[in-house]
Structure 1
Amino acid sequence: MQDASRRQFITSTALLGAASVLPTTVSAQTACPSLPRLIHQVYFWLHNPDSVEDRNKLIEGLNSLRQIDSVRGLQIGLPASTEKREVVDNSYQVAETMLFDDAAGQDAYQIHPLHKAFVEQYSYLWRKVVVYDSMAV
């Protein structure tokens, strides 16, 4: 029984050692080529930052954007209670990340009637919005 455990340990150690010399800079697109490439991140600062009701209303509105055809993924988040560091900005109240196949999909989203209705119906809730758009490499 000890020999089997020893062989298993040696095999596991050898596999871990081999894995440690493999390249680790694999892009998200290489690892998952089917992932949408355009990442649209939006951060919202509310007029009433302590209002759970306003926050939940905004989240309700953001969820309605899932119905837009060109939106391939949508995640809504709140600031995480991670370590406070100089480079971390968690002063926003709600964050949204959307995935699109490409810039054309994001352009279609911007002019879609549901997006326009969202802005019209919910913009009174926020005092500031910051958007970061990026392409996966």
Structure 2
Amino acid sequence: MKKTICIITLLVISGTTFGQAADKHMKNLDPGFVHVVNFWLNNPDNKDDQKQFEKALKKLMKKSKHANTQYFGKPPTATRDVVDDSFTYTLIVSFKNAKEQEKYQKEKAHENFIDEAQSLWKKVVVYDSEGIKL
């Protein structure tokens, strides 16, 4: 699982995306605090649920005042045993620091996203990390 997060983070840093074309909402990774959220939808193959979930994510990205990097994607089919491809979507957002991430958790855009989309998922796993200067 941890290797999956490292791979996903490296893909974001390198500019490679696997489910979303870069657009005006994509911003550079802020290494201060990275928030990675994996979602398992109740009906992962249901196109209407996917559209509804993606619409809610896009709205969150557009309206969030605190999230810097704004990325979401779907897992590619795993080709190695160490890669977890069981989730339906990944959301990666970054912040200057943990205090900014706390503000994001409480902001209206984030609360609205949860209200609009939580009925669509059965499981959510979050990985937060604070950057280390090398």
Give the TM-score, by structure 2 length.
Answer: 0.72
RMSD of aligned C-alpha atoms? 1.7
- 1:47 and 2:47 are equivalent in the alignment: no
Alignment map for 1:1-137 (pairs within 5 Å): 35-66=30-61, 67-83=63-79, 85-137=80-132
SS at match of 1:95: strand
Where do 4+ consecutive residues of structure 1 move more than 6 Å? Answer: none
Alignment deviations for residues 85-120 of structure 1 (CA, whole Å, 9 cap, x no partner) = 222110111111001110011000001111111111
Matched AA of 1:53: D
- Structure 1 gap ranges (5+): 1-27, 29-33
- In the TM superposition, residue 70 of structure 1 has moved relative to its aligned partner by 1.0
| Larger-Rg structure | 1
Q: Distance in 2 between matches of 1:38 and 1:93?
A: 23
- In the TM superposition, residue 76 of structure 1 has moved relative to its aligned partner by 0.6
- In the TM superposition, residue 55 of structure 1 has moved relative to its aligned partner by 1.5
Asked if the contact 2:31/2:130 (under 8 Å) is kept, the reply is no
Asked if the contact 2:34/2:95 (under 8 Å) is kept, the reply is yes
Asked if the contact 1:55/1:93 (under 8 Å) is kept, the reply is no
Matched AA of 1:69: K
SS at match of 1:90: coil
- Structure 2 gap ranges (5+): 1-12, 14-28
Percent of aligned pairs with the same residue? 34
Aligned residues: 104
Give the TM-score, by structure 1 length.
Answer: 0.70
Alignment deviations for residues 30-59 of structure 1 (CA, whole Å, 9 cap, x no partner) = xxxx83411100000011011122122111
Matched AA of 1:59: E
